[in-house]
A and B are shown apart, each in its own frame.
Chain A
């Protein structure tokens, strides 16, 4: 089966007062629909950077990032924006909900970029909120939600445009263990339900252990490593 997401020899360096710092050094990766991968590694090794350059938020210093056969970083600014809007869903460690909007509106924000919000989209947003247990909180403001609820709303926002790739950067980093477990389960369930590629960066061994595939980023290289706990699918 041809991979929908391919990374070939991806490198990323930063200029620092001490000289050039290379954090990604020839990363290769191929993922297809339905793949769910957890990336772990020590702080500062470039896990989040890897997500951002896959998601079109930060360019690599060299190498290729292909999605559906298209080199993401050969796209123009407008096409790149469309790519982020249509093909990628982001879940950040911080929820970044807009305080001026209610939960439903926050979920619908990505939809206004391309086609605008119609009844179908609104219905999908409500369903997503129902799915994550926030159906009754749709009219609430972000500051009226708990941390877990905010992150669930952020997850719905990432899924509203039915993306191919769901990128989650420390999605449970700010949450208590129980809430983190819930969010982790939701991520995996929804990715599977919608046949997405799910990449999650996490320090949580518990969360990583529930993913069918674990990758370790160390010294700029990505290597496979077996899950420390049974993956979500295996447990079920």
Chain B
């Protein structure tokens, strides 16, 4: 005989009870470990999705610039490339919209916006894991399944692809193309790419949702977007077809940094100035080389590199800034003016006649200025002097356009004093080369032939102007100090139009061009120009970590299930022990120390826990499978994909076991905690409850009474304060306002007060326990029985009430934003429509001038615009979707540039902010940190930051910059994006011209008409109702609530089993009484009424208290317009709990009825 033998014998003897305990532990383990497996499964599936999404693309260079298509071949030819990589494939990557034409000409039937458009060659199949070819003829398109579904496309369908027309010169600069912002390309659907097949899921940004993408023949796109190869012309060198993306397939999944670095080296080795949209124009006649940009303006970094490179080669440089002056006059008569002349900013030091050419060497008509040119002084050439009848000392007024932020071109006046008149016949001022080539203008035969993007005052052009153009073309007529020119004419892209460099001696012009080109390229890095390769695979894998720890989330969702299982285990273990208190008493009476007895019970518990955990680990896979099934069917809205599979990792199983074992042990130990305080004599008498002294009991009743009264008053006061609006709406914590927290607290206090009141009632029940007759009398007796084990009854009611409180509160918390009317200070900001377009709108839709520029001022226009109360545009830098619709980790969300109009209008709901916090976006930060706003869900669940946090974002050149969360929007339309001021946006994303996101304030009755009209007139614009957009975001939240509700409901059901167990305990404890009642003639109905009455009281009290408190907490929400409570399912769930609770009581009932009367009486 030994302790071990005793342990084994005990375990075997009580195997029936023990197996139930083991099942309870197994349930807790299965739920907990299953939740962790769900986390693994989501992560593993996201990783698989991420890999599948990229096919065989490992790295990619996707730039704002358009570079040579054959650059890819140049990279591939490098031996270093072949060592680590398989292929480098050129492509065009653009965003556009796909439309299906309507029945009437010029109308559209359906439109899918934000479609990723890939222009691909036959080499694209090299990136397919299945070597899938996309055999696309010139007019054909392959569409992803999601595009096909959203537009109802099938093979052979006709579609229109709308794309922004790329231009070299920024569209919102003076000479940028504005007339034709987009092109439509008619295409026929050749292939529909299913999600599960090659390229059907292809996408560049991590998103588990199927992509909206189309694949078009590269040559077709190049042709339609003016990106085709161009033959050499007299004026310029020939140009290869252009692309903006290179996709690379690596040989091995090596170190990401190394792979990127290797490709960076290859980029630097093989790139040319043309790939950077730069060129060096030799001007041998003038004796210099000129570095120019297709963008018209050289970026500051390029100028810096050009200067450094030239200096290294022993060459001298001079930056120049050319601008167009609409009109110049000196006030010397109506006819004394000049139209459309170039003005040039140069270093004043070079304007001295004493400075030698080629960069200096001006010759003057008359006296040269004695001092270098000062601000507001200018030099004019002799032609202009003659036109204006002006000379040294005269004041000249120049008029020029500047580019407004909304496409407008306000005309600015500036006056200069003439400091000198330049000769056109001698010196270097007669230099057409100072003006970079601008196709359509500098190559025009006459001023009348200009293809300019702004209105010209043709009638004002004089014959002298034409004659000048004939003779001197774009040769500047005016020179001013470079610094002042930069001050007046700088745009956000740069402040230099050309960088001139002296021709070195001893080398040919061609050699000089090559030498300077190479030197410039050496000075530049791909990162400076946004030409870095990104390791898409590594980024995807990192993002697959997910925004949400689904393991933790499901542990949270399953919280009540776990707690219920743990409580059930504790109750069962306690029940098992209560069947043998005399045994424990005996062990104590024969001298076993309480410690020995505890150790024996602990060993017993440990063995059971280990068995349960092992069984639970097996069941966990099944539970996880069930949850994954739920996620891909019932709750698919939470993750937006059906491609989730169960992933089992041994480490997770070990973690599940490590978590479950202590939970099970603690549960069981809590089951015999009180037992160790009971003396052996009491145990030997078969009693397992500590008897409370009268004084302790009375004190407890008094405390409970005061608690019930105090907490009840506090709950009512808090609720009244909330209803009267006395609670502030600022943030309390975690994004919850004081008002919301107040109401929840009032509900919780009400619940607590109710439980205390119930405890008091149990301790001092009024009325007679034995009265009446028949079943009703038995029921009365049953109700009174609940007060026998007051603590036990109160705890049971408390557990059921808390679970009910949460389930009802969650069910009552559902919202339907579609039902909410637009209101300024709400999530919809008072807007009814939201629209997005992939074709930037360069002009302001809100102004008549802007609409005129957009050709929206036809006869139908006034009727429509009179219905639009406000239309607010936003600039857009597309990024990852950081809303709750994307479960991949995001680092660079889409950023919206907020105009001053929106800032003035204010509105939207902020967490813990003042009346109109929009001004915060424009506040300057001494450290240069950009203030941004984000939605609570985006910040907390995607970016995992809060107000005040500083995050790192990347600008338009992919350079990092810091942003501070200056405000947090609450349940707003701006989920998934960040907002920054327009000024900051333009500084960080200078390449993003125009507006692509619009909010429209319009009456409900006019919404459809306005929406249809705008969609048909603004290229690519796709308008939605704000309520529908918000409902889409909330669908995820509501799905999570459903998940929580479902699992919480399961927990509550399991809790009712606990109730059944408690009832069984009560019956077993009172077996002699029940035997006696039977002996004196109680029939089955009376016994049932007594047992079920007690059960019903506990169950009903818990459900009632929990439901009442939850409804109190949620009353403000329930009274709001957007409340969308599914009362039916909730009621069904509660009824199910009642039924399950009553059924679980039947076990106790059966035991009670089957007790042999005589034996039971004798044994007691």
A: which residues have CB within 8 A of B?
A: 15, 17, 52, 55, 57-58, 77-78, 81-86, 88, 90, 92, 94, 96, 98-101, 104-105, 108-114, 116-117, 122, 157, 161
Contact = CB atoms under 8 A, between A and B. Distances in A.
A111 B591 contact: no
Contacts of A85: 590-592
A83 B589 CA distance: 10
B586 A96 contact: yes
B9 A100 contact: yes
Interface in B676-695: 679-681, 684, 693-694
A101 B582 contact: no
Interface residues of B, number: 30
A117 B1 CA distance: 6
A58 B680 CA distance: 8
A111 B593 contact: no
B593 A101 contact: no
Contacts of A81: 588, 591-594, 596
20 contacts: A57-B589, A57-B684, A58-B679, A77-B593, A81-B592, A81-B594, A82-B593, A84-B589, A86-B591, A92-B684, A96-B582, A98-B10, A98-B583, A98-B586, A100-B10, A101-B6, A110-B590, A113-B591, A113-B596, A122-B1
Interface in B1-37: 1-3, 5-6, 9-10, 12-14
A99 B12 CA distance: 11
Contacts, number: 91
B600 to A, nearest CB: 10
Interface in B387-421: none
* 9 residue pairs, one from A and one from B, having the closest CB atoms: A85-B591, A100-B13, A108-B1, A81-B593, A84-B591, A100-B9, A110-B590, A96-B586, A117-B1
A15 B14 contact: no
Nearest to B587: A109
B9 A105 contact: yes
Nearest to A19: B694
Given A77-B594, A81-B593, A113-B596, A100 B587 contact: no
Contact of A17 (B3, B594, B694): B694
B595 A78 contact: yes
A116 B591 contact: no
Interface in B566-612: 582-583, 585-596
Given A96-B583, A117-B1, A109 B590 contact: yes
B6 A112 contact: yes
Contacts of B680: 57
Contacts of B582: 94, 96
Given A15-B694, A96-B586, 11 more contacts: A55-B589, A58-B681, A81-B588, A81-B592, A82-B593, A98-B9, A99-B13, A100-B6, A100-B10, A105-B5, A113-B596
A157 B586 CA distance: 11
A112 B12 contact: no
Contacts of A17: 694
A161 B590 CA distance: 10
Nearest to A88: B591
Contacts of A110: 590-591
Contacts of A82: 591, 593
Nearest to B14: A100
A82 B588 CA distance: 10
Interface of B: 1-3, 5-6, 9-10, 12-14, 582-583, 585-596, 679-681, 684, 693-694
A100 B583 CA distance: 11
A90 B12 CA distance: 27
A100 B594 CA distance: 21
Which of A52, A112, A157 has the most C-beta atoms of chain B within 10 angstroms of its own C-beta? A112
Nearest to A106: B1
A77 B591 CA distance: 10
B1003 to A, nearest CB: 76
> In the complex, which of the residues B12, B583, B589 has the most CB atoms of chain A within 10 Å of its own CB atom?
B589
B589 A90 contact: yes
Contacts of B6: 98, 100-101, 105, 109, 112
A98 B680 CA distance: 16
Contact of B1 (A86, A88, A92, A112): A112
Contacts of B589: 55, 57, 84, 90
A96 B583 CA distance: 7
A117 B5 CA distance: 11
Contacts of B595: 78
B592 to A, nearest CB: 5
A15 B693 contact: yes
A65 to B, nearest CB: 15
B12 to A, nearest CB: 7
B598 to A, nearest CB: 12
A181 B1141 CA distance: 53
A109 B591 CA distance: 10
B404 to A, nearest CB: 89
Contacts of B594: 77, 81
B432 to A, nearest CB: 108
A69 to B, nearest CB: 20
A192 B555 CA distance: 66
Contacts of A161: 591
A86 B592 CA distance: 10
Nearest to A105: B1
Nearest to B680: A57
B601 to A, nearest CB: 14
Contacts of B14: 100
Contacts of B593: 77-78, 81-82, 113
B694 A113 contact: no
Contacts of B588: 57, 81, 84
B681 A112 contact: no
Contacts of B596: 81, 113
Nearest to A86: B591
A206 to B, nearest CB: 22
A94 B586 CA distance: 11
B576 to A, nearest CB: 13
A92 B685 CA distance: 11
A57 B586 contact: no
A84 B10 CA distance: 23
A57 B681 contact: yes
Nearest to B5: A105
Nearest to B1163: A94
